[in-house]
């Protein structure tokens, strides 16, 4: 899980197969402190989105190096290799690009890092795709066919998202992911936190929504019981989220998504989410210190109100995976124990930690650069598991040790037990999930290698779905009892 597959320099060039494109998600090393499971939860939609726009006369193959099936295929040699590039695996992407280019393939690089650092990527590609790849990919293939490939293609994110075809999930190795229904309903976010990739200079991503009907069709077509929304923030537009929930409700399936905690401003929306199958949310709390949140320019409720909001989600059967960023300027050495204690007191079923990381071309990066606090520009270490800047109130080593300690503590038997749900009926599934997800990294390696991820998780997902459907009935019954009681009161008056 830490070393990429070997790219043999001795491999001779095979014949180039015309009209054959290979799409690659490059390898990145996994942080041993966190769960390996999250890397096979659901695939990135970058490549399936491109696959959906590939003309029918092109043969297409998908290769994710993180699924431990070895190096990407090279017999026959693809005419075009499309590689998605994030900063943490940029180096690996460039190695792959070099290997295929030197054997005659045309290499196209696209993705987040190409948008934030195009000059760095340019020497490694025959063509760069900057921005939304959906309109660009078919144009690029057409230019390959007419031998008129250009060095750079640019597209904005301002198009009507509803016009995009659904991602082509049929190219995915289904057994290798907990669910292949990674789905995206919205683009952008109402916030623009200074540390987030969305604040990258030059990136304009207006909030765009797909029709709820389109999401339902995708969910049904993939035949999975569980969908993971990979939207940056599914809760940015509450009216939209409500209509999406109403459309999902009849499916009797379950889903999870990243939302900001302000969705709890409207308890009726949280109930609507629960009734539509939402069993878990990933919430970027980021920090329990208001000054840190203000520095990051995050529009969010006061941290003192977070606990009440977590209860609101729990009361509607929605588990909370809290995401916390460590190393902000108001964080002192006690931030680790205080955050861990808060997570336990509030029974967060899961927690994810990130060391504050200044992504290139973001406001945070500019600030750190101006203050001379960046330690290096080795992007491979900009993975939120390493301190790449000098924190204000501790050393980088202390920050890294504190981060590792957080995972050790939260993944410990005692902490898992302390955070169990109040409803005892939810405890067995919670414990099974926690142990399988958080304490089984060696086991994960085997599951991934032997394509057993989906088979192992399926029973737990089905159990969760059935339990959720029962809970849903209780929620509706509880409401009608509540209504009857209020009618009696009204009649009495
Ligand atoms: C799913 C996901 C994951 C999955 C899978 C990741 C993977 N690479 O396999 C998991 C859970 C494993 C994961 C892990 C991590 N992730 Co992540 N993840 C996402 C998420 C939620 C969705 C990605 C997605 O499917 N987007 C939708 C697709 C369609 O958009 P896209 O990738 O930008 O692709 C479009 C264009 O860029 C372009 N394009 C992309 N590739 C290519 C290639 C070609 C050839 C072409 C022509 C075009 C093209 O076309 C596409 C269509 O428009 C994003 C947030 C988001 N909503 O994007 C974060 C995000 C990518 N993750 C992020 C981070 C930080 C991480 C972690 C480092 C966090 C951690 N510590 O655990 C890890 C480690 C992964 C790593 N080392 O890269 C950051 C990246 C920041 C950055 N500057 O790189 C993001 C942006 C979240 C955020 N807002 O901060 N992640
Ligand atoms: S709320 Fe989340 S997705 Fe939105 S800008 Fe802030 S960190 Fe990024």
φ, ψ for residue 478, nearest 5 deg: -60, -40
Domain assignment present for residue 483? The answer is no
Residue 301 to residue 261: CA distance in whole angstroms: 8
Confidence of residue 488 (pLDDT cuts 50, 70, 90): very low
Same domain assignment for residues 306 and 418? yes
**pLDDT higher at 214 or 37:** 214
Q: Whose CA is nearest to atom 3 of ligand 2?
A: 232
- What total of structural domains would you count in the chain? 2
Distance 361 CA to ligand 2 centre (A): 16
Determine the length of the chain.
493
Per-residue model confidence (pLDDT) at position 441 = 87
Contact 176, 66 (CB under 8 A): no
Query: Strand 208-209 to strand 186-187: parallel, antiparallel, or no bridges (unpaired)?
Result: antiparallel
Per-residue model confidence (pLDDT) at position 484 = 56
Contact 72, 95 (CB under 8 A): no
Same domain assignment for residues 334 and 239? yes
Same domain assignment for residues 257 and 122? no
Domain assignment present for residue 169? The answer is no
Average pLDDT over residues 429-436: 87
Please, is 445 exposed, middle or buried when counting C-beta atoms within 10 Å of its C-beta (0-12, 13-18, 19+)?
middle
Same domain assignment for residues 311 and 436? yes
**pLDDT higher at 158 or 13:** 158
Per-residue model confidence (pLDDT) at position 227 = 98
Per-residue model confidence (pLDDT) at position 222 = 97
Average per-residue pLDDT for the chain: 94
Summarised one tens digit per residue, pLDDT across range 242-292 is: 999 999 999 999 999 999 999 999 999 999 999 999 999 999 999 999 999
- Regarding the beta carbon of 354 and ligand 2, being less than 6 Å apart is answered no
Same domain assignment for residues 230 and 123? no
In angstroms, what CA-CA distances link 364 with 8, 327, 329?
Answer: 39, 12, 11
Summarised one tens digit per residue, pLDDT across range 291-345 is: 999 999 999 999 999 999 999 999 999 999 999 999 999 999 999 999 999 999 9
Closest by Cα among 304, 212, 197 to 261: 304
Per-residue model confidence (pLDDT) at position 489 = 39
Domain assignment present for residue 477? The answer is no
**Domain end call among 106, 138, 155:** 155
Domain assignment present for residue 376? The answer is yes
Same domain assignment for residues 245 and 113? no
Residue 23 to residue 82: CA distance in whole angstroms: 5
Pocket-forming residues, ligand 1, beta carbon under 6 Å: 25, 28, 38-39, 41, 44-46, 49-50, 82-84, 86-89, 108, 110-112, 129, 132-134, 136-137, 184, 196-198, 230-232, 354, 359, 383-385
Same domain assignment for residues 197 and 315? yes
Per-residue model confidence (pLDDT) at position 155 = 97
Per-residue model confidence (pLDDT) at position 243 = 98
* pTM of model > 0.75: yes
Which pair of structure tokens corresponds to residue 420? 């169990």
φ, ψ for residue 263, nearest 5 deg: -60, -25
CATH of the domain at 294: 3.80.30.20
Secondary structure (H, E, C), the chain: CCCCCCCCCCCCCCCEEEEEEEEEECCCCCCCCCCHHHHHCCCCHHHHHHHCCCCCCCEEEEEEHHHCCCCCCCCCEEEEEEEECCHHHHHHHHHHHHHHHCCCCEEEEECHHHHHCHHHHHHHCCEEEEECHHHHHHHHHHHHHCCCCCCEEEECCCCCHHHCCCCCHHHCCHHHCCCCCEECCEECCCCCCCCCHHHCCCCCCCCEECCHHHHHHHHHHHCCCEEEECCCCCCCCHHHHHHHHHHHHHHCCEEEEEECHHHHHCHHHHHHHHHCCEEEEEEEEECCCHHHHHHCCCCCCCHHHHHHHHHHHHHCCCEEEEEEEECCCCCCCCHHHHHHHHHHHCCCCEEEEEECCCCCCCHHHHHHHHCCCECCCCHHHCCCCCCCECCCCCCHHHHHHHHHHHHHHHCCHHHHHHCCCCCHHHHHHHHHHHHHHHCCHHHHHHHHHCCCHHHHHHHHHHHHHHHHHHHHHHHHHHHHHHHHHHHHHHHHC
CB proximity list for 112: less than 8 A, separation 6 or greater: 85, 86, 87, 197
Residue 248 to residue 31: CA distance in whole angstroms: 35
Q: Which of 147-161, 179-193, 427-441 has the lowest mean pLDDT?
A: 427-441
Distance 355 CA to ligand 2 centre (A): 16
- Strand partners for 16: 77
Same domain assignment for residues 189 and 108? no
Q: Residue 27 pLDDT more than 90? A: yes
Confidence of residue 482 (pLDDT cuts 50, 70, 90): low
Which pair of structure tokens corresponds to residue 382? 């900009």
**Domain that includes residue 214, residue range:** 181-472
Residue that the structure tokens 């809970």 belong to: 471
Domain assignment present for residue 291? The answer is yes
Confidence of residue 481 (pLDDT cuts 50, 70, 90): low
Task: Give percent above pLDDT 70 in the chain.
Answer: 97
Confidence of residue 492 (pLDDT cuts 50, 70, 90): very low
CATH of the domain at 86: 3.40.50.280
Q: How many CB atoms lie within 10 A of CB 163?
A: 9
Summarised one tens digit per residue, pLDDT across range 133-177 is: 999 999 999 999 999 999 999 999 999 999 999 999 999 999 999
Per-residue model confidence (pLDDT) at position 298 = 93
Same domain assignment for residues 221 and 119? no
Same domain assignment for residues 261 and 386? yes
* Ligand 1 binding pocket mutation candidate from 36, 230, 257 (most atoms within 8 A of CB): 230
Average pLDDT over residues 222-250: 97
Same domain assignment for residues 319 and 453? yes
Residue 322 to residue 314: CA distance in whole angstroms: 13
Q: Residue 466 pLDDT more than 80? A: yes
* Ligand 2 binding pocket mutation candidate from 184, 186, 187, 189 (most atoms within 8 A of CB): 189
Domain assignment present for residue 3? The answer is no
Per-residue model confidence (pLDDT) at position 437 = 80
Domain assignment present for residue 299? The answer is yes
Q: Residue 49 pLDDT more than 50? A: yes
Q: Which ligand is nearest to the CA of 357?
A: 1
Summarised one tens digit per residue, pLDDT across range 358-414 is: 999 999 999 999 999 999 999 999 999 999 999 999 999 999 999 999 999 999 999
Q: Is the dihedral of CA 365, 388, 33, 416 positive or negative?
A: negative
**Domain end call among 106, 121, 155:** 155
Same domain assignment for residues 249 and 211? yes
Q: Whose CA is nearest to atom 35 of ligand 1?
A: 46
Domain assignment present for residue 488? The answer is no
């Amino acid at each position: 899980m830490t070393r990429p597959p070997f790219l043999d320099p001795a491999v001779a060039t095979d014949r180039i197969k015309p009209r054959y494109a290979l799409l690659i998600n490059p390898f990145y090393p996994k942080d041993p402190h966190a769960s390996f499971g999250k890397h096979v939860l659901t695939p990135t939609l970058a490549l399936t989105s491109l696959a959906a726009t590939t003309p029918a006369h092109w043969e297409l193959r998908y290769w994710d190096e993180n699924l431990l099936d070895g190096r990407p295929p090279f017999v026959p040699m693809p005419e075009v290799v499309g590689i998605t590039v994030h900063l943490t695996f940029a180096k690996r992407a460039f190695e792959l690009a070099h290997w295929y280019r030197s054997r005659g393939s045309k290499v196209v690089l696209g993705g987040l890092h190409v948008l934030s650092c195009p000059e760095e990527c340019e020497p490694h590609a025959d063509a760069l795709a900057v921005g939304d790849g959906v309109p660009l990919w078919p144009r690029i293939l057409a230019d390959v066919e007419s031998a008129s490939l250009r060095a750079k293609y640019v597209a904005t994110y301002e198009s009507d998202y509803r016009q995009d075809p659904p991602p082509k999930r049929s190219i995915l190795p289904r057994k290798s992911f907990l669910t292949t229904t990674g789905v995206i309903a919205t683009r952008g976010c109402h916030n623009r936190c200074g540390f987030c990739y969305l604040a990258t200079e030059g990136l304009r991503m207006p909030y765009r929504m797909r029709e709820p009907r389109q999401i339902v069709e995708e969910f049904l077509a993939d035949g999975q019981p569980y969908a993971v929304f990979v939207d940056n923030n599914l809760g940015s537009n509450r009216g939209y989220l409500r209509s999406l929930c109403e459309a999902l409700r009849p499916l009797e399936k379950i889903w999870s998504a990243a939302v900001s905690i302000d969705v709890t401003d409207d308890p009726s929306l949280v109930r609507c989410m629960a009734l539509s199958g939402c069993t878990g949310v990933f919430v970027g709390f980021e920090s329990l210190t208001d000054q840190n949140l203000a520095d990051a320019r995050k529009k969010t409720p006061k941290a003192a109100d977070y606990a009440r909001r977590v209860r609101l989600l729990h009361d509607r059967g929605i588990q909370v995976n809290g995401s916390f960023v460590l190393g902000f300027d108001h964080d002192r050495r006690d931030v680790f124990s205080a955050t861990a204690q808060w997570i336990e007191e509030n029974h967060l079923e899961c927690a994810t930690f990130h060391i504050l990381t200044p992504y290139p071309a973001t406001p945070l990066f500019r600030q750190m650069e101006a203050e001379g606090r960046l330690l290096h520009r080795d992007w491979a270490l900009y993975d939120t598991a390493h301190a790449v800047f000098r924190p204000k109130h501790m050393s980088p080593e202390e920050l890294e040790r504190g981060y590792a300690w957080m995972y050790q503590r939260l993944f410990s038997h005692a902490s898992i037990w302390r955070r169990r749900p109040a409803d005892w009926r939810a405890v067995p599934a919670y414990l099974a999930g926690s142990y399988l997800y958080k304490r089984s990294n060696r086991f994960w390696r085997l599951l991934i290698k032997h394509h057993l991820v989906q088979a192992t998780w399926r029973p737990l997902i089905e159990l969760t779905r059935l339990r959720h459907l029962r809970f849903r009935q209780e929620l509706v019954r509880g409401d009608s009892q509540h209504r009857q009681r209020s009618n009696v009161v009204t009649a009495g008056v």
